[in-house]
Structure 1
């Protein structure tokens, strides 16, 4: 398996793109970009394809359960071992190329925002289908996998099929096929049918450029300075169009130790520790070969999205001789790492440590490494060392090769000892690779409750954010009502130093960690009471700890009461924090003269500290949360982060607006800050925020740093607001929505829509309900969806 990077993916004769008509974005490039909230790539699907956030997920689950997975597995194996003349297999086996397809499908995942990964099968779509690093993967998908997908249709998604085929490829090379144990695998990926156009993959305007390292960075030929200064967040790959790192070295410079730094940073950003990184690179390069038969710039045409219409979506047309087989050009590097490129063994480490390596160039002009003359002589001469079979001519043998990134696994002071241990203990290497491969392919799948099929691991893996099984009945509606009354009475007690706003802040802090990109976070598990979330500054720890103490006491009381009454039921802390937030909002509505009951579905369970990966949870900590008017960054435009958080919470633009307006009047800012609390009656659920933010009699003037604004009022009591607040009134689209909620007849619409969105956020991680009921429908108020717009 290789990581292609070398060709620019466009020929020198490619015409310049036509001039496009000006768009809104062209005229006003600094305008707040709301497109990501308009675009649900899963809604752009044919009607018969399921959507994962509705009862249609149950449809896919049902279809998947009807699959004969063993028959499918055999069909994949047959396709992998049957040569297709359209794209001849190296060594008569498509296994290595299939591993690369699965790897590159899943390998875009990044921990900072959970985006990327193979969860939607988006390697079929732009821009990923046309990244230089994905060169020629269109062939394996079209020629080998498409006939299988066509046969099984809606019973398996492209996302699941690609990962399962990668597993089968590995299994087939571990062998023997009839007796090999299936690797861990969880299904449940739902395909996208539109590209994720607004995901930030980098600001470079040219393939393989690097403007993403702090203080700059180069492309090919750049110095290694950039590698020491760090990548921009949230990016993982070191250059535009790469999955991970440049195999020749940073920017094409074959500096082995600098390459190790690149590897460590980018793999860490994709959720891997050092041992997993070594296992994955070594395991991947145990299979297959790199392809660089000639100079890509001379012979390789445009990528799929840039190819001529008659190419029918195929890219990288190669005019060098036959253009395939021995003439294939992918990465520009050429050769294989081991003597058995379609078998699992320890040959990679054997060669890595057996030889000393000298720098050379491939036929395609890329820097790579081969055994030096002294090593060849010491190990029996050229004939003995030249033991790598040719991929298409059985009469030829080649020297093994290594990339600069491979040598980093030997010479880096941290990677080296791990590699030596794997070299001396092949069983440990095999186990580490299987585990790291499962993590690579499932990092964006969320907890095991979302995974389908018979090959899900039984053991608890902390990176899957495990939750304990519930061995008790859920709390009844009667006791929920009892709890609400007890909590509100405790807070309203004149001796209490808590407010209903504190309860709302705690519930929001618990649930709003959810990310739809990798299904992490959320209220389930009650991790708000554990490290690290309990101490996050955005969560207002002083207030939060008081809320936790109150709710833990009420939880113990009601559980004991149910036990005394011989009721086999309990309420979890995770349910308690949602109940408390709901009770507080009901009280805020009562203060506004409205009697409401917020829908509540019990069943959450409580994770332990031992089940919580503190290191990886730190990536979920908000640096900016516009919903709480919290800004712990130097970003001069925090409103952009509001849009990003709304997208991670799967909110639409109207949902974002109504939710923010409600949280402001509920006084739910971090540290009870009054920034943006544009109401004379904080803690009362009204539409005051919208009426006041749109009041033309208020004149706003910025502070020195431009982050806060003073709103001068004729009443003498001035407002203070943030950029996040003011954007609701200044952006034309957001203002149009705000006007609908500020109208004289909108108070009840506002209340209904706010409650619906609140419940939606509280329920985002209830994956246990996805297969059996429509969570979206069950959690709307009076059966009505938001919003009136």
Structure 2
């Protein structure tokens, strides 16, 4: 083998493992998305898979239940009142810092699609870990590492972060509503969630251009009749958790800030009272940090130097921490007692007039009392130093907005009421993305059922057995309802499920309640629900409408499979219950209504005029919310087309003349070169499927149909089912994914 010196001579002194070879193998660009920015990223369905999870087979429920929670909480509380040299605690108490960590972990939740929240500890990974609004939360988690190490995998990061926030509130005097464990950690960066259209170079604070950012995610300006935030976004700016504390566009206008607050907190599932309670309650503790200009602060964790070992935002000024700490650029505390639960925040907000001024260190807009005799607050680190109280523009907003002001005054008059409101709002904030209460673990789960948990009545009596199920199947067949209508109604009951926040699904039969029964996408379900309600009443059996809706779908699939020559028994697990209307919040459930549901070939009429994304992107998102893999997505769609499950009963995408037979006809057409696809409209939303030989239009199609022949990954899967041996495999795969969707919300019998 030649010596390196010989290679060196040939290569002109260059290392043979260098140049383009290393760059091509290890640099991050160009990627597929760089080359083809509009490509459908089907791979997002397989992110955060079991291969990435070192604890995929770990029984977390059993491990968590084995923890002595009192001992763990004692360890946390003992730690909170200590201080370490590398990151000293403010006021000798890490409590306020840990409240911020937990709040910001949970505060990414958004009700539009259920994404975000504390449930997977995504604050550990990009991009959330490196948002400038999460500045120094990396220090909070690193401070907690000794406790995490002591308890190991028995406590997830997600649970530990929320529990630490609770402990912090408790040591400072707030009685918490409770704590439910059961959050399982994610294990890789989130490259799928859409956090907004803006691009912030390196997520540095100095590159934060508020005007540019608002022009991309907001329509209009505060106060305009058409002022609206892009769906499904919740935060007012990229890299923020809620709103800019200096006001929209950093304009220092409290009235404009109140408008942003109301929109963003509502998008995060909070009403006006919960919003005020969270802001006023959270700002009873701790301080804001702004002692160093943003331009001097180092890069965030994701791109920090390797020697910093995952810690970002290095600070070159002074000690680099303590009295030199920099987070959002605003400096000061809201109250004279920043480590004590009291009503001083609201007292001071309304007792004093506040004037705007500029932080001399960072240039940020903040507010101080006009009255020179207003109380001072002790410095967090410099002994004996007293500082002016501080308010942010977003705090003054609570005083000037008439609705927020009324709530504030109510809290001022009744501190106990305020305490309860904040405690319950905090519980909602930190548990909102966990789904039904049955998923919560531990001895501190609140006994109260909250409407936001989508409560269900308990199941009473034994579930129906095999012989009774057979009787019910026959009764369903005797109704004369078609295979198509039964399958459509069952799928419609299940299609609301969101794996992101564990909401929706067939359990509860909320398809029969407001608002779901009136959704346009559910127009075909009314008669089926009425007939199945009659079956329930006449059967004399202990069966719910929810079970009958699902069983009706199973009957339909069995009939369709038999017609295709592949008879099967579709799994059915009874035990569902029926929710009451008073257990269903129409306003909150309205967010479950699909804008696009490609499974039922539905596109909301308003979609094309307001959306910046394509129907197929939304279809992909719907598949992701159902927690489907790409093969499951393909099988489920092909089966629903064969069953005739369009929302309006139309023939669009129904590439068969034997509707109700679980055939592979859909895949035969999308993979065949016997047809060509012709646009009906200039926008390319509707198509005809034309016979190449005769020019005859054979079928109608939407973008959500063409997708399975146009996308390379989905076409490859479609070809599996279109092959000569694909029929039996398709029926088997469809039945499996059908059962998965019907059982997605059955936390009473499965873990998840």
Q: Give the TM-score, by structure 2 length.
A: 0.92
Deviation at 1:330, TM superposition (A): 1.1
Q: Is the CA contact (8 Å cut-off) linking 1:87 and 1:324 kept in structure 2?
A: yes
Alignment of 1:150 onto 2:131: no
Deviation at 1:619, TM superposition (A): 0.5
Alignment correspondent of 2:18: none
Deviation at 1:227, TM superposition (A): 10
Secondary structure of residue in 1 paired with 2:299: coil
Deviation at 1:592, TM superposition (A): 1.9
> Structure 1 residues 223, 610: closer, same or farther in 2, change over 3 A?
closer
Distance in 2 between residues matched to 1:675 and 1:227, nearest whole Å: 37
**1:201 equivalent among 195, 202, 208:** 195
Gaps of 5+ in 2: 1-25
Deviation at 1:218, TM superposition (A): 9.1
Alignment correspondent of 1:398: 387
Alignment correspondent of 1:780: none
Deviations 1:230-261 (A, max 9, x none): 11111111111000000011121101100000
> Structure 1 residues 483, 214: closer, same or farther in 2, change over 3 A?
farther
Q: Is the CA contact (8 Å cut-off) linking 2:177 and 2:424 kept in structure 1?
A: no
Deviations 1:255-308 (A, max 9, x none): 1100000000000000000000000001111000011112121x2110001111
Q: Is the CA contact (8 Å cut-off) linking 1:224 and 1:253 kept in structure 2?
A: no
Alignment of 1:259 onto 2:257: yes
Alignment correspondent of 2:452: 463
Listed as ranges, the matches of 1:436-447 within 5 Å are: 436-447=425-436
Secondary structure of residue in 1 paired with 2:701: strand
Q: Is the CA contact (8 Å cut-off) linking 2:222 and 2:260 kept in structure 1?
A: no
Deviation at 1:213, TM superposition (A): 7.8
Q: Is the CA contact (8 Å cut-off) linking 2:214 and 2:249 kept in structure 1?
A: no
Secondary structure of residue in 1 paired with 2:263: helix
Distance in 1 between residues matched to 2:317 and 2:652, nearest whole Å: 64
Residue correspondences, number: 712
Secondary structure of residue in 2 paired with 1:710: strand
Alignment of 1:504 onto 2:464: no
Alignment correspondent of 1:184: 178
**1:423 equivalent among 397, 412, 425:** 412
Distance in 2 between residues matched to 1:305 and 1:461, nearest whole Å: 38
Deviations 1:765-787 (A, max 9, x none): 0111124xxx9xxxxxxxxxxxx
RMSD between aligned residues: 1.9
Listed as ranges, the matches of 1:378-389 within 5 Å are: 381=373, 385-389=374-378
> Structure 1 residues 30, 182: closer, same or farther in 2, change over 3 A?
closer
Deviations 1:155-209 (A, max 9, x none): 110000000000000000007xxxxx55411111000010111110111111444
Listed as ranges, the matches of 1:36-55 within 5 Å are: 36-41=44-49, 43-46=51-54, 49-50=55-56
Alignment of 1:34 onto 2:42: yes
Alignment of 1:281 onto 2:279: yes
Alignment correspondent of 2:159: 160
Alignment correspondent of 1:620: 592
Alignment of 1:338 onto 2:335: yes
Q: Is the CA contact (8 Å cut-off) linking 2:688 and 2:697 kept in structure 1?
A: no
Alignment correspondent of 2:80: 80
Q: Is the CA contact (8 Å cut-off) linking 2:495 and 2:626 kept in structure 1?
A: yes
Alignment of 1:365 onto 2:363: yes
> Structure 1 residues 209, 608: closer, same or farther in 2, change over 3 A?
farther
Distance in 2 between residues matched to 1:692 and 1:332, nearest whole Å: 59
Alignment of 1:575 onto 2:575: no
Distance in 1 between residues matched to 2:697 and 2:387, nearest whole Å: 82
Alignment correspondent of 1:549: 530
**1:534 equivalent among 507, 510, 517:** 517
Alignment correspondent of 2:4: none
Distance in 2 between residues matched to 1:259 and 1:401, nearest whole Å: 17
**1:708 equivalent among 677, 686, 694:** 686
Deviation at 1:225, TM superposition (A): 7.2
Distance in 2 between residues matched to 1:759 and 1:628, nearest whole Å: 17
Alignment correspondent of 2:90: 90
Alignment of 1:295 onto 2:273: no
Distance in 1 between residues matched to 2:394 and 2:647, nearest whole Å: 45
Distance in 2 between residues matched to 1:235 and 1:29, nearest whole Å: 21
Deviation at 1:593, TM superposition (A): 2.5
Deviation at 1:223, TM superposition (A): 7.4
Q: Is the CA contact (8 Å cut-off) linking 1:460 and 1:466 kept in structure 2?
A: yes
Secondary structure of residue in 2 paired with 1:200: coil
Alignment correspondent of 1:268: 266
Gaps of 5+ in 1: 1-17, 176-180, 492-497, 563-569, 776-789
Deviations 1:32-91 (A, max 9, x none): 121211213564111xx246xxxx5xx111111111000000000011011111101110
Deviations 1:563-607 (A, max 9, x none): xxxxxxx11111110000000111111222232110111111111
Alignment correspondent of 2:21: none
Q: Is the CA contact (8 Å cut-off) linking 2:110 and 2:232 kept in structure 1?
A: yes
Secondary structure of residue in 2 paired with 1:712: strand
Secondary structure of residue in 2 paired with 1:444: helix
**1:760 equivalent among 740, 743, 750:** 740
Q: Is the CA contact (8 Å cut-off) linking 1:294 and 1:365 kept in structure 2?
A: no
Distance in 2 between residues matched to 1:533 and 1:136, nearest whole Å: 43
**2:240 equivalent among 218, 224, 242:** 242
Deviations 1:540-583 (A, max 9, x none): 2xx3111011111111222x2x4xxxxxxx11111110000000
> Structure 1 residues 544, 210: closer, same or farther in 2, change over 3 A?
farther
Distance in 1 between residues matched to 2:50 and 2:384, nearest whole Å: 50
Q: Is the CA contact (8 Å cut-off) linking 1:360 and 1:369 kept in structure 2?
A: yes
Alignment correspondent of 1:231: 229
Distance in 2 between residues matched to 1:295 and 1:42, nearest whole Å: 43
Listed as ranges, the matches of 1:573-652 within 5 Å are: 573-632=545-604, 633-634=607-608, 635=611, 637-652=614-629
Deviation at 1:212, TM superposition (A): 8.9
> Structure 1 residues 595, 650: closer, same or farther in 2, change over 3 A?
same
Secondary structure of residue in 2 paired with 1:431: helix
**1:658 equivalent among 625, 635, 639:** 635
> Structure 1 residues 72, 670: closer, same or farther in 2, change over 3 A?
same
**1:435 equivalent among 424, 431, 442:** 424
Q: Is the CA contact (8 Å cut-off) linking 2:346 and 2:408 kept in structure 1?
A: yes
Q: Is the CA contact (8 Å cut-off) linking 2:368 and 2:390 kept in structure 1?
A: yes
Distance in 1 between residues matched to 2:27 and 2:47, nearest whole Å: 25
Deviation at 1:26, TM superposition (A): 2.2
Deviation at 1:631, TM superposition (A): 1.0
> Structure 1 residues 371, 42: closer, same or farther in 2, change over 3 A?
farther
Identify the range of structure 1 (707-716 vs 104-113) with the bigger mean alpha-carbon deviation: 707-716
> Structure 1 residues 734, 331: closer, same or farther in 2, change over 3 A?
same
Deviations 1:396-448 (A, max 9, x none): 11111100000011110110000011111111110000000000001100000
Deviation at 1:23, TM superposition (A): 2.6
Distance in 2 between residues matched to 1:469 and 1:485, nearest whole Å: 27
Deviation at 1:490, TM superposition (A): 2.0
